[in-house]
Amino acid sequence: MGFPSPAKDYQEDVIELSEYLVQHPSATFYFRVSGDSMINACIPHGALLVVDRSVKPVSGMIVLAVVNGEFTVRRIVQTSKTLVLHPENAAYKPLAVTEEMNMQVWGVVTATVVKYKYDKNDRIG
C-alpha cells in the first residue's frame, strides 16, 4: 500500500471547460457558423458559438439575430437614430434595421470555440 500521497489533501477538481464557457446552462445554446463575415471578431468559418439567451443585448455585443426569419451573427450597434447589424469583415455591408424589417435578437454570443484541424502539411486546415 505504501504511504498516502502527500498531494491528496491538495487535490482539486479538474478544470471543466464548459463551466468556464457557460454561465447560465439553462439559457445557453450552441451554434456553428459557416462563412467569414465575422472574422475580425475572432469568429472564423466553422467556429462554434456559445449563445446565452439570458444576457441582455447591449450596443457593441455580438449577437445571434433573426432577420426576417433567418439567423445571422453580427455586432449590434445602437446609435442615437438607428440600430445597425455590423459584420466584422470589410467585404460585407452593415445592415441598418428598419421598421419594416422583422429583427429579433435570439441570444448574445458569449464565447467562440475554435478547434484546429491540421492538414498533412501541419497547417491549420
Could you list the residues that contact other proteins (CB under 8 A)?
24-27, 29-35, 37-38, 43, 48, 53-54, 64, 66, 69-74, 87, 104, 106
- In the bound state with other proteins, the residue whose beta carbon lies nearer, of 26 and 80, is 26
d(CA 21, CA 28): 10
- In the bound state with other proteins, the residue whose beta carbon lies nearer, of 38 and 122, is 38
Q: State the nearest-atom distance from the C-beta of 70 to other proteins, in Å.
A: 7
- In the bound state with other proteins, the residue whose beta carbon lies nearer, of 31 and 83, is 31
Q: Are strands 70-78 and 62-67 parallel, antiparallel or unpaired?
A: antiparallel
Dump the DSSP string for 39-96: GGGT--TTPEEEEETTSPP-TT-EEEEEETTEEEEEEEEE-SS-EEEE-SSTTS--EE
Q: State the nearest-atom distance from the C-beta of 24 to other proteins, in Å.
A: 7
Residue with cell 455590423: 86
Q: State the nearest-atom distance from the C-beta of 35 to other proteins, in Å.
A: 4
